[in-house]
Amino acid sequence: MRVELFWQLLENATVVRWDGKRKYCLVYLPGLGYRLYRREGHWVLLLVVGPEARRWAATFGVEVDGAAA
């Protein structure tokens, strides 16, 4: 998706964490769960969703309980 659409998506997120280079972003969207994105210039690519993305939470310094997914 284009970066502009990604910024709009983040308005509904309750968790937004970037890596140190602001290339990878972990996002939690209510009703949709965790998603891991990678920024490439003017594009943002969805890499993984749900439980796979949730496994990245600790890498981004996000504590999750057993209920969040």
Confidence category of residue 35, pLDDT binned at 50, 70, 90? very high
Its sign, for the CA torsion 36, 45, 47, 69, is positive
Tell me if 16 sits within 8 A of 25, measured CB to CB: yes
pLDDT of residue 66: 56
pLDDT of residue 29: 95
Mean pLDDT of 23-43: 95
Q: How far is CA 51 from the centre of its chain?
A: 12
pLDDT of residue 7: 96
Confidence category of residue 48, pLDDT binned at 50, 70, 90? very high
- Choose between 60 and 68: higher pLDDT: 60
Q: Which two tokens stand for residue 44?
A: 């943002």
The residues that bridge with 16 in the sheet, in sequence order, are 27
The residues that bridge with 35 in the sheet, in sequence order, are 27, 49
